[in-house]
Structure 1
């Protein structure tokens, strides 16, 4: 077996963030699991589904902690490593933090896939972490039938300038910093081997500049758009903040080929579960099922959804006082 002939996506039951446990099931499983330490320094925990945990250390300084890993989303091992690292680092940026140190999380079928491929995955992760000026200081690996890779990341943030799910307010615009569509394109890639360079570049791009621009603009509410899709993540923000998010479907940006991939049926089970989860809380009466599926498309290393405006990020909707639905798509 030559390494050039190996397609990593064929060794995984799902790809990227589409392999997440469905949001409804996850919320049911963790309901009531609230730590009872009696300490008041945990600023962000499980309550509102934020992207990372935040603990206050002292005035002006907080620790941001997160972890993320997943099965191969592309066949190229180096690109998979880059994407997985960018995705894990994104949780820190989505909270308004700066990553400081990361630990690799690796599962590898050592009797099936060559170690040379494993090295390429780790090299991709290291290169993106280096770009983020984040140390990579070891990690943990196991022998596993299915390859998985990601990182546990620790960063720092100003506790008074966090980006949170529960800080969205009526009257603010909603902006999105990366186009949607990587889910259906990755699904097509897995099925056909067709490579979508724009999707790879988008997934491997850091959300650092967008987060810094958001903080500079005084934005206080944000989340990154990943496995639960745009609809899932905007619903979590609207629910946590007690507002209604009104999305303009025509304003949402998509990668080239995404709409065609969805129309051709390359929609993951994770995307369909996302839509099933948000449907009771969302007014989808003005869009068809294909549009709804695209809005629920399970993203991997997606952009930031911001309650505010920054240069270069299209405005895709607005926040209004809470109405009958948490999300309205027009």
Structure 2
């Protein structure tokens, strides 16, 4: 097991390095002048030269990359041109919205998809199974931004149960509180979770059906265990490898795809930050946010790999 985790840690570090090189190359080494892009076409040569010096663009690319990575390793990030604030502070503030939103959406996805997927598998080819598969197909077909608008119309405009948008904050000092903040994130989380729930439901059903055909399931039933006990006590854990794979991809996707939903609900999250940074041509913020999101996705995949070894003991034996 320790050797397995060590190998995954090395792979995690190498992937981060490769990702940083790609992010740096895309934003700084492609044809074009970043200072010109930031200042616009009407900028003078003197202002462009001053901006290049401020951004360090007058230095060789390898040196710029080394300084960027050295700063990140020391916990120091660049200074936003639009906000005149370190990007670390901006991202930390915005992640207080995006991360809870992604966690809520993932919790909804897992709670609904696992239960419904197992139910559909237990009712294979029956009315319940057909109904679940039909609803999941509908969930796959509905764009999350369109569902978000429908949710706003129903719950905010007609029923007036929640606000149509905005975020009050997590503390009472900011005019909000825990429950007002959770209420503000509930509709966005539902909109984000809809498509992911449909996907995970179908994956869970397929994985459970494959596991139900295994010999150990027949043995468990022969010992007198009920179908419910077999499903939840034996089948689910053995079916979790493909399910966990999809869950890891989904959680990363929920974080990175929040940009659309956050703009629909006017949430001050990381997605809205990168949207505003692109609009303001603040490439420093764009670079650091993309790197943060990439690191989060890689970290989630690393955690899923470790969970594999915990769920399936065969991986511990295979990797030491």
- What's the TM-score, normalizing by structure 2? 0.23
More helix by share: 2
Larger Rg: 2
- TM-score under structure 1 length normalisation: 0.22
**Greater fraction strand:** 1
